[in-house]
Every structure is written in C-alpha cells, then in structure tokens.
Amino acid sequence: MLVTLLAAAVLSCSSLVAVDGDTIRCGTERMRDMGPGSPNKSGYDAPEISRAKCAKERLLGEQAKIRLQELLDQRGTRVEDSGKRDRYGRPLVVVKLGDGTTAGEVLLREGYAVRWKPGYKASWCE
C-alpha cells in the first residue's frame, strides 16, 4: 500500500493577530486554529469575547486571547493551512510554534482552552 503525505501549506501573513483564544487574523482573513486536532473532527475551544454568555466567559476569553497573541509573537511561529474550512467558511489552520508544538496544545495545557469535538457545548459560565 502506497501512502502519500502532503505537507501543509505554510501561509505568509502580513500581520498575525489573535481575534480571540481560537481565532486568528492572517493579514485581513480570519482563520480558526485547530491546534492538535483534525479538520471538523477535533480541536480546541476557547471562551468567547464578543458573544460571551456571562462576564466570567468574557474575562476568560480576554485572557485566552492575550496568551494566544503571545504565542503568535514568538520567533518561529508559523500558520499551516489544512485546506479545509469550518462551518462559518473560515480556513482551518494549525498555529505551529518554533519548537514544533501547536498553540492549541499550549492553550489546552495551560487551561485557556478545552478539547473540542462535534456535539461539544461550551459551559464557561458554570
């Protein structure tokens, strides 16, 4: 059996900005970071900011956004396009850090995010 592995396309961004804890803007385009997940099957979720259901979620979302921006600003950080899109039409990407880990792995490990899979429902306000 022959298996062909395709390398993910590394994107060139004029600017790289955290919109919230799991969404980035590469230049002018918003993208959803999957972290260590698979397109539309697994990934991570961070609290909302603009559509937060409570003050606690908004505060957690702001903290996650700040941490993601710190990771985006690290030397060697790159954005890899999966070639897939989420239900909102945003490209699904993986933010890779210089050491090979993903931003999502760091956010999960540090408690800024939780694992996501289809059917997941956020409960940041509890």
CATH value of 13-115 in 3.90.1860.10, 1.10.3720.10, 2.40.50.90, 1.10.569.10: 2.40.50.90
70 residue type, one letter:
E
**How far apart, in whole angstroms, are the C-alpha atoms of residue 100 and residue 125?**
33
Residue 3 has pLDDT above 80, yes or no: no
Q: How far from each other are the two terminal CA atoms of the chain, in whole angstroms?
A: 49
pLDDT digits (tens, 9 = 90+) for 37-82: 888 888 999 999 999 999 999 999 999 999 999 999 999 999 999 9
The sign of the dihedral angle between the CA atoms of 101, 50, 39, 109 is positive
Confidence of residue 36 (pLDDT cuts 50, 70, 90): confident
Q: Is 43 strand, coil or helix? A: strand
Count of beta carbons in the 10 Å neighbourhood of residue 49: 18
List CB contacts of 87: < 8 A, sequence separation 6 or more: 40
Looking at the DSSP bridge assignments, the partners of residue 9 are 81
